[in-house]
Amino acid sequence: MSQSALVVIPTYNERANIPVLVAGLMQHPGVRVLIVDDQSPDGTGAVADALATDYPGRISVLHRTGKKGFGRSYIDGLRQALSEPADVLCQMDADLSHDPRHLPDLIAATADADVVIGSRYVPGGAIVNWPKRRRVLSRVANIYIRAVTQLAARDCTSGYRCWRRAAMAALPLDRFISDGYSFLVEMLFVAARGGCRIREVPITFVERREGESKVSRAVLIESAITPWRLIANPESRRKAARNAGS
């Protein structure tokens, strides 16, 4: 792999998963990792610090102390990532749902795309161990998001993504206001509006075995509202961002 990549990984109670994920990622030369931990009560932060010692110069850890949140963690993490040298910036979940083996394919695909999505819903993509309910929810969410926002991607809610540095740098991260999956949808929407070329590469998504999902009712409600907010006019978006204090 000739390109250097920095993978940003938000963690909340992922103590059993993060060492396995990092070991997998470290198999790829040129890949570095930034773990963004929200003071996980299970001690994930200390495990991450130990990994940083095990792999000198390749792992760093951002310990957040403010309000916890998936979107906010990414905003802080991606900002820090942009201040470091890397050709490609990647996003991944810590729970081993996103197999590090796919990463070289995603990174390679940035050769002719600005944003590459690790996609469950293109030919070759798959989901392992998801209950029927969760499959249906994800499918319906994507149909809904695509219908409202006109995004062309099949998997708008995938959290496994690689960005060319310039495409990420162009995002107005300080104006983003959504937090759960919506944050991922918002990123994609703004990127598409900005003219980014978005490509999908198939992945096999595997449901977590350790730890718990943080998807809550609040996250689902936000996800239902966000597509409408995104297509509203830009001025109302800016206002909403100001009101949210971001």
Judged by the rule CB under 6 A, the positions of this chain that interact with ligand GDP are 10-12, 14, 36-38, 68-70, 73, 93-95, 97, 208, 213-215
Task: Collapse the DSSP code of 66 into the 3-class scheme (helix H, G, I; strand E, B; otherwise coil) and give the result.
Answer: coil
Distance of alpha carbon 102 from its chain centroid, rounded?
15
154 binds, among Mg ion, ligand GDP, none (CB under 5 to 8 A by kind): none
Residue 13 or 226: the one with the smaller Cβ distance to Mg ion is: 13
> Least distance in Å: CB of 91 to ligand GDP?
10
Residues 6+ apart with CB under 8 A from 203: 98, 99, 102, 118, 119, 120, 125, 126, 158, 160
Residue 94 or 196: the one with the smaller Cβ distance to Mg ion is: 94
> Least distance in Å: CB of 182 to ligand GDP?
12
Residue 128 or 166: the one with the smaller Cβ distance to ligand GDP is: 128
Please report whether residue 95 would count as binding Mg ion according to CB under 5 A. Answer: yes
Residue 138 or 149: the one with the smaller Cβ distance to Mg ion is: 138
Residues 6+ apart with CB under 8 A from 81: 6, 8, 34, 89, 168
Give the whole-angstrom CA distance, residue 189 versus residue 151: 7
The region, left, alpha or beta by phi > 0 then psi within -120 to 50, assigned to residue 213 is beta
Residue 12 or 189: the one with the smaller Cβ distance to ligand GDP is: 12
Selected binder of Mg ion within 44, 97, 110, 119 (CB under 5 A): 97
Q: Which residue has the tokens 């590459």?
A: 116
114 binds, among ligand GDP, Mg ion, none (CB under 5 to 8 A by kind): none
* Burial of 126 (C-beta count, 10 Å sphere; 0-12/13-18/19+): exposed
Please report, as ranges, the residues that interact with Mg ion according to CB under 5 A. 93, 95, 97
